[in-house]
Amino acid sequence: MTAGTTPIIDIAGVRKTYRSGSIEFEALRGIDMRIDEGEYVAVIGPSGSGKSTLMNLLGCLDLPTEGTYHLAGEDTSTMSEAQLAGVRNRRIGFVFQQFHLLATLPAWRNVELPLVYAGVPRHERRDRAVAALERVGLGDRVDNRPGELSGGQQQRVAVARALVTEPDLVLADEPTGNLDSASTRDVLALLDELHAAGRTIVLITHEHDVADRAARNLVIRDGLITEDHPTSAAGAVR
Amino acid sequence: MSWWETLRTGAAAIRARRMRSVLTVLGIVIGISSVILTVGLGQGAQQQVKDQIDALGSNLLIVSPGSSTDSSGMRGGFGSASTLTLADAAAIGDGTAAPDVAAVAPTTSTMLSLVNGETNWTSTVVGTTTAWPDVRTRVLGSGRFFSEAEVAEAAPVAVLGPDTASELFGGQDPTGGTVTVGGATVTVIGVLEASGASASGTSEDDLVVLPIGTAKAITGATDDSVSTIYVEAAGEGTLSAAYQEVEAMLLTRHGVAASDADFSISTQESLVATANETNRTMTVLLAGVAGISLLVGGIGVMNIMLVSVTERIREIGLRKALGATPAVIRRQFLVEASLLGLSGGVLGVLIGVVGAQVLPGLIDQPVSLSALATLAALGTALALGVGFGVYPASRAARLTPIDALRSE
């Protein structure tokens, strides 16, 4: 990595249009943004503002109708579905609002899933999954299934899963949306910790007090970025 | 993701829904086991018929009267059953015109009632000559067969089949006793050994053999027609030579062309072929029905896999988000469907093999399993799983991760 010179996220002129029948809906209407390595950015906006669409594009779960998206220097806008799967696997760690853990698998098996698709050998996967769980403070819950864990613990398992591949970018989509305030504090503290350790984090939320934990806020409204400003937390962490 | 990983994931998914997987597999199990058993029954029946016909005697030609009726119906009034005569048989056995013929046994055959004291029994009454045991490869169990002299004078003597003897005389030795055959009393001089061919249709072991003259006298027949002439060729190599000699001689004697011959000659081989023809039709029919049930089983697999895709739509979305390519997802569902098919196949084969051991005792029919049919059944089960898994698997592969993740 040539740190500093290549931004992790470089989006230029991105538009996204949804079509259902004869009705066209422009969810993103020309977005430009750059996020550098090690930044902690919150994308904030009300529902319907286009932030979910932006999240899907950032996560390479969807392709823009127009414009380009370079993720760590790679142009993803022209990739095939299989190539995008590879990019997601290598570069992005997802944390979802609904946790999205597989109920039939114990915690460490959930965490090792990205490594399975990355083709990491079996014995190495278990070690790395356990290490990731230890890092989020769940070293003693390795063999528990999601149903045996609290909501906050489940989300920490999901964070461990997002970390296990050492991705360039952690993408958290309303990670505290389904959590009580204590668990919310836990998970946000964990994200702070990851940021302090130098990881790039993009957090998508509609809650201002959650967004305030990030160093930089991007406000999105009606498919456009209307504000881009550092927060009070900016100085504190750096 | 390696094949081994895919296999483990598939097996885990099947185990996680144990009851449903068992029910899904049941369709394939029933289909495969019924295919194996019906084909086995068919082959068993064919083997049985072959054994029975082999037991008729080796190198045997069977001459029957009136196979072909003239299209104009000219011979109709004469009666097709009386075109063969004792004189025909004598000429065949003469040895000069048909040098490849070793022995000839003209026979008549009627169903008549037999009486021994209080015991009644109805059986096949065969009238023949001294060559019969030889030609039909039958052996006397006790007593003796009748002599040339007894044939010549139409003596009132009889040889019983073993089943007939036990029906009429119970456990006692019938030799020396008397039996009333169709009103005439005859003396039993011998009992045949069991032929070995098992019971199906008319038994080879339930019959009364009389000198041909005696049989004719009892039935009141005045002509010298016979119902069948059994001809034994000198050796296996001369069977077709004997066939041609007998055919040529009978055509000449009857003064007809080969195209409207008033008799037919069959060999063991042609009898086996005819019998197998019938059996094969039955086997194909039954196997077809079993095959349809197999198809239904396959559709069951597809149905369950489609349900599974819908049910696990979020899992698919998540796996895709974490880096599973469409090909990996497709492979995972294909492997799951194939595992279902294959385990159904293995279970079906097991049940088929056990059934093949148990069934013959219950229904008195032999079942012969062939390794080829068993392998083919396994292959079919696997192919069903793969074939019916393709559509659900490609549906899973086509799901976009966002739609899959968002679905509730």
Q: What's the pLDDT score for residue B78?
A: 37
Q: What is the pLDDT of residues B156-211, one digit of tens each?
A: 999 999 888 888 888 788 888 889 998 889 999 999 988 765 444 456 788 899 99
* pLDDT for the residue A133: 95
B151 alpha-carbon distance from chain centroid: 37
Determine contact, residues B184/B156, Cβ cutoff 8 Å.
yes
Residue contact B16–A104, C-beta within 8 A: yes
As a whole number, mean pLDDT of residues B284-303 equals: 86
What is the C-alpha R_g of chain B? 33
- Which chain B residues are Cβ-neighbours of A62 within 8 angstroms? 400, 402
**Which residues of A fall below an 8 Å CB-CB distance to B?**
56, 59, 61-62, 81-82, 85-86, 88-90, 94, 96, 100, 102, 104, 113-114, 116-119, 161
- Minimum mean pLDDT range among A14-23, B123-132, B267-276: B267-276
The domain ranges of chain B are: 3-52+275-406, 84-261
CA A121 to chain B, closest CA, distance in angstroms equals 10
Measuring CA to CA, how many Å separate B250 from each of B94, B110, B215, B233? 13, 24, 24, 16
Cβ-based contacts of B3 with chain A (< 8 Å)? none
Q: Which two tokens stand for residue B332?
A: 């995972």
d(CA B20, CA B29): 14
For residue B58, is pLDDT > 70? no
Q: With a cut of 60, say whether residue B81 has pLDDT above it.
A: no
pLDDT, average across residues B348-365: 87
Residue written as tokens 């008319």?
A: B202
Identify the three-state secondary structure at position B100. Answer: coil
Whether B102 and B303 have beta carbons less than 8 Å apart is answered as no
How many alpha carbons fall within 13 Å on the CB side of residue B47? 12
The helix (H) or strand (E) run that includes residue A159 is helix A151-163
Q: Is the pLDDT of residue B53 over 80?
A: no
Q: What is the pLDDT along chain A (238 residues), one digit of tens a residue?
A: 444 568 999 999 999 998 888 888 999 999 999 999 999 999 999 888 888 899 999 999 988 999 999 998 999 988 999 999 999 999 999 999 889 999 989 999 999 999 999 999 988 999 999 999 999 999 999 999 999 999 999 999 999 999 999 998 999 999 998 899 999 998 999 999 999 988 999 999 988 889 999 999 999 999 999 999 898 876 554 4
List the beta bridge partners of residue A11. Answer: A33, A69
Residue A88 has its nearest CB partner, among B16, B321, B328, at: B321
Q: How far apart are CA B88 and CA B254, in angstroms?
A: 9
Residue B77 has pLDDT above 80, yes or no: no
Rounded Cα gap, residues B231 and B91, in angstroms: 12
Could A62 and B400 be called an inter-chain contact, meaning their C-beta atoms sit closer than 8 Å? yes
Beta-bridge partners for B160 = B191, B208
Place of tokens 């079509």: A19
Which tokens belong to B245? 């000699």
Please, which pLDDT band fits residue B225 given cuts at 50, 70 and 90?
confident
Mind telling me how many Å the CA of A89 is from chain B's nearest CA?
Answer: 4
- Burial string for B281-307 (b: 16+ CB within 10 Å, else e) reads eebeebbeebbebbeebbebbbebbbe
Strands B157-160 and B207-211: antiparallel
Give the H or E element holding residue B239. Answer: helix B239-254
Give me the phi and psi of A83, to 5 degrees please. -65, -40
For B346-397, the DSSP string reads HHHHHHHHHHHHHHHHHHS------HHHHHHHHHHHHHHHHHHHHHHHHHHH
Structure confidence at residue A147 (pLDDT)? 94
Any idea what DSSP says for residue B85? B
Quote the DSSP letter at residue B354: H
Chains A–B, number of C-beta pairs less than 8 Å apart: 58
Q: B322 vs A90: CB contact, 8 Å cut-off?
A: no
Which chain A residue is nearest to residue B325, measuring alpha carbons?
A: A82
Question: Taking a C-beta distance cutoff of 8 angstroms, is the pair B218, B182 a contact?
Answer: yes
How many angstroms separate the CA atoms of B34 and B351, rounded?
9
Structure tokens that stand for A187 in this block: 């998970």
Sign, CA dihedral A105-A110-A116-A117, equals positive
Query: What distance in Å separates the CA atoms of residue B154 and residue B221, rounded to the nearest whole number?
Result: 13
Non-local CB neighbours of B351 within 8 Å, separated by 6+ positions: B29, B33
How far off is chain B from A61, nearest CA to CA, in Å? 6
Residue B6 to chain A, least CA–CA distance (Å): 10
Secondary structure element (H or E) that encloses residue B316, with its range: helix B313-321
Q: In what order do the strands lie in the sheet with A200-205?
A: A92-95, A169-173, A200-205, A40-44, A216-221, A224-230
Nearest to B318 among A56, A90, A100 (CB): A100
Q: Under DSSP, is residue B258 helix (H, G, I), strand (E, B) or coil?
A: helix
Per-residue pLDDT, averaged over B281-287, amounts to: 83
User: Closest partner residue to A85 among B2, B325, B405, by Cβ?
Assistant: B325
The ipTM estimated for the assembled molecules is 0.91
- Give how far B368 is from chain A: nearest CA, Å: 45
What gap in Å lies between CA B321 and CA A61, rounded to an integer? 7
Closest CA of chain B from A44, distance in Å: 20
Residues of B with CB under 8 A from a CB of A: 1-2, 5, 12, 16, 314-315, 317-328, 400-402, 405
Q: Chain B: residue nearest A164 by CA?
A: B322
Q: What angle do CA A155, B313, A167 make, to 5 degrees?
A: 45
Of B322, B402, B405, the CB nearest to A113: B322
Give which of B8, B322, B330, B407 to mutate to test A binding, by max A Cβ within 10 Å.
B322
B316 → chain A, closest CA residue: A102
The pLDDT of residue B80: 45
Which distant-in-sequence residues (6+ apart) come within 8 Å of B13 by Cβ?
B308, B336
Distance, in Å, from the CA atom of B58 to the CA atom of B268, rounded to the nearest integer, reads: 8
Neighbours of B374 (CB within 10 A): 21
A220 has which bridge partners?
Answer: A225
- Answer yes or no: do B405 and A89 touch at CB < 8 A: no
Least confident of A162-166, A223-227, B77-81, B362-366: B77-81
Confidence band for B73, pLDDT divided at 50, 70 and 90: very low
The answer to whether A62 contacts B405, with C-beta atoms less than 8 Å apart, is: no
Residue with token string 């016909």 = B53
Q: Which 3 state secondary structure label does DSSP give B366?
A: coil
Residues of B within 8 A of A81 (CB-CB) are 325-326
Answer whether A85 sits within 8 Å of B320, measured CB to CB.
yes
pLDDT value of position A145: 95
Give the ranges where B121-173 is alpha helix by DSSP (H): 132-135, 148-152, 162-169
Q: Are B42 and B281 in contact (CB under 8 A)?
A: no
Gap between the Cα atoms of B385 and A177, Å rounded: 42
Query: For residues A89 and A118, what is the distance between their CA atoms, to the nearest angstrom?
Result: 7
Q: Is B71 exposed, middle or buried (0-12, 13-18, 19+ CB in 10 A)?
A: exposed
CA dist A191 to A10, A38, B349, Å?
Answer: 22, 12, 57
Chain B nearest-CA residue for A165: B322
Closest-CA residue in chain A for B6? A116
Q: Which whole number is the average pLDDT over B49-61? A: 74
Contact B325 A86 (CB under 8 A): yes
Contact between B347 and B19 under an 8 Å Cβ cutoff? The reply is no
Taking chain B, what is the end-to-end CA distance rounded to the nearest angstrom? 28
Mind telling me how many Å the CA of B402 is from chain A's nearest CA?
Answer: 6
> For residue A200, with 0-12 CB atoms within 10 Å meaning exposed, 13-18 middle and 19 or more buried, which class applies?
buried
